[in-house]
Amino acid sequence: MKLRYLPLLMALTALLAAAAPAPAQEAAPLISLPSFAPIVAKAEAAVVFISVTQTASAGRQPRRPASPFNDDFMERFFGFPQDGRPPQERKTRGQGSGFIFDREGYIITNNHVVEGAEEIKVKLNGGEEIAAETVGRDPKTDLALLKLKKAGSYPFLVLGDSQKMEIGDWVVAIGNPFGLEHTVTAGILSARSRSLGAGPYDDFLQTDAAINLGNSGGPLLNLAGEVIGINTAIVAGGNNIGFAIPANLAKGIVNQLKTKGRVVRGWMGVIIEKVRPSHAQAFGMKEPRGALVREVDARGPAVAAKLKPGDVIVRFDGQEVKEWQDLPLIVANTAVGKKVKVVVFRQGREFSLDLTVAELKDADDSPAAKTETEALGLSLSELTPELRARHSLVGHEGLLVTGLEAGSPAAEADFQVGDLIVEINGQPVKNQGDYRAALKAKASGELASFLVKRGDRTIFLTITLP
């Protein structure tokens, strides 16, 4: 073959190779989404519809719960009017969800579903309606335990391990939104350890499974059909942002309600706040961590343990305090009378102190324990990133009004839930310590002037101190 034909043959070979079919590529494996039908079939028999009856009267107006979120019974069930005036005496009805968690007929639901109820009816999945009684309630975590009055062996759900759940895991919610019984929704676990400013034991799971008015008290389930949360709250105006009480927190509460009818919590006698970067720098800490002691209660065990304002608690009874809001839960779950080691960061190094845990008493048990906030009828929350975002308060400082007692000095002064207290008597208010200090500077009977941000406006309100 002559060499002059070689380039032509090479070009023809390349053309044929390009036209040849490409080798078959291995198809990507198909991802199969789970079916929730088996979970629902197993769980729905234990999910119940709860209806309650309560008498609302002008002389016995329930206190508006200190809650930054909108939930199903704040207006419809408890009868809180839009204009703040107490209702006339009348029968009110409300409804919610719950689930049976043992075969004897004990039911877990939210405290706000049954608080103040004079009559409780529970409708089972088959339609049978049975009267129930309240065994115990815990307003601090918004949990309640009911018992069916009719003896029997009932289907029940198991409380799972909420700590094993990972962000992105599938979850299923079953409840009675807007009275639509046994509605099933699904989604994922969106976040954990959410603090909403509702109380010292905030530790909510967040989910995008649709939770609506009437879902309160219903179960949030994992793919094994175990309860990993009790649906509790939604964000007003939010889109699929719901919150549930973790099952691990509920287990201890429910067991105490079942055996004692109340919850006993540990107490150390300190007021704490967040360790900010400026604090860490001033104290010589490498990074912000732990809980900063702002005040030490003279009646509490912290005095004998020699804790001081300015101490940063970094470990309690062997448990690391990563964030300041971790400490109340750790202490509350510690047995009363237990002797523990408290590790604090003080003057550039760590110290270990011995403390004997005491029992937390409700403020109502001791008139002397009533705070200035309670006397004015206000419930206040320091701003968290979630509260700043929800109330469009990014870049602002102050205390958020999350609850208001009808007929209180604050209500008469025209305070509203959602107000941000910026100053008192000309003094900036950034936390509870600033708030108390400003009020203590005025004597009983004197006027206190509050600078308040309300929406896009800034207004002054005055209260005569009781």
Query: Same domain for 113 and 129?
Result: yes
Residue 285's CATH number = 2.30.42.10
Question: Within a domain: residue 212?
Answer: yes
Query: Same domain for 124 and 186?
Result: no
pLDDT tens track for 283-295: 899 999 999 998 8
Q: What is the CA radius of gyration of the chain?
A: 28
Helix (H, G, I), strand (E, B) or coil at 209: coil
Q: Given 327, 359, 391, which residue is the final one in a domain? A: 359
Q: Alpha carbon of 339 to those of 60, 267, 303, 328, 353: distances in Å?
A: 43, 12, 14, 17, 10
Query: Same domain for 459 and 377?
Result: yes
pLDDT tens track for 378-389: 878 778 766 777
Query: Same domain for 115 and 169?
Result: no
Query: Same domain for 138 and 48?
Result: yes
| Residue 110 CB burial class (10 angstroms; 0-12, 13-18, ≥19) | buried
Question: Within a domain: residue 131?
Answer: yes
Average pLDDT over residues 408-437: 87
Query: Same domain for 90 and 106?
Result: yes
Per the model's pLDDT, the better-predicted residue between 26 and 301 turns out to be 301
Question: Within a domain: residue 27?
Answer: no
> Residues 6 or more apart from 82 whose CB is under 8 A from it?
75
Residues 424, 440: Cα–Cα separation, whole Å: 11
Residues 466, 454: Cα–Cα separation, whole Å: 24
Query: Same domain for 354 and 417?
Result: no
pLDDT tens track for 36-51: 999 999 999 999 999 9
Helix (H, G, I), strand (E, B) or coil at 376: helix
Query: Same domain for 173 and 255?
Result: yes
Joined tokens for residue 64: 């508006």
Does the active-site annotation cover 142? Answer: yes
Query: Same domain for 254 and 270?
Result: no
Q: Given 117, 148, 179, which residue is the final one in a domain? A: 148
How high is the pLDDT of residue 233? Answer: 85
- Residue whose C-alpha is closest to residue 331's, from 356, 294, 357: 357
Total domain count, the chain: 4
How high is the pLDDT of residue 56? Answer: 56
- How many other CB atoms sit within 10 Å of the CB of residue 45? 17
Average pLDDT over residues 249-278: 90
Question: Within a domain: residue 355?
Answer: yes
- Of 71, 72, 138, 142, which residue is the catalytic one? 142
- Of 71, 72, 97, 112, which residue is the catalytic one? 112
Average pLDDT over residues 192-203: 76
Residue 117's CATH number = 2.40.10.10
- Residue whose C-alpha is closest to residue 138's, from 205, 78, 198: 198
Helix (H, G, I), strand (E, B) or coil at 16: helix
Question: Within a domain: residue 19?
Answer: no
| Residue 394 CB burial class (10 angstroms; 0-12, 13-18, ≥19) | exposed
Question: Within a domain: residue 4?
Answer: no
Residue type, 384: T
Question: Within a domain: residue 33?
Answer: no
Residue type, 70: N
| Residue 6 CB burial class (10 angstroms; 0-12, 13-18, ≥19) | exposed
Query: Which residues is 145 bridged to in the sheet?
Result: 108, 136
- Residue whose C-alpha is closest to residue 47's, from 181, 165, 177, 148: 181
Structural domain harbouring 374: 368-464
Average model confidence (pLDDT) across the chain: 82
The pLDDT of residue 117 is above 90 = no
Residues 326, 223: Cα–Cα separation, whole Å: 28
Give, as one character, the DSSP assignment of residue 159.
B
Q: Alpha carbon of 33 to those of 36, 101, 223: distances in Å?
A: 9, 28, 12
Query: Same domain for 142 and 62?
Result: yes
The pLDDT of residue 367 is above 50 = no
- Residue whose C-alpha is closest to residue 311's, from 339, 285, 337, 334: 285
Residues 56, 347: Cα–Cα separation, whole Å: 55
- How many other CB atoms sit within 10 Å of the CB of residue 444? 8
Predicted TM-score of the model (pTM): 0.65
Q: Given 260, 295, 314, which residue is the final one in a domain? A: 260
Query: Same domain for 125 and 90?
Result: yes
pLDDT tens track for 55-72: 654 433 443 443 444 444
Query: Same domain for 237 and 173?
Result: yes
Question: Within a domain: residue 30?
Answer: no
Average pLDDT over residues 154-167: 94
- Of 195, 216, 379, 381, which residue is the catalytic one? 216
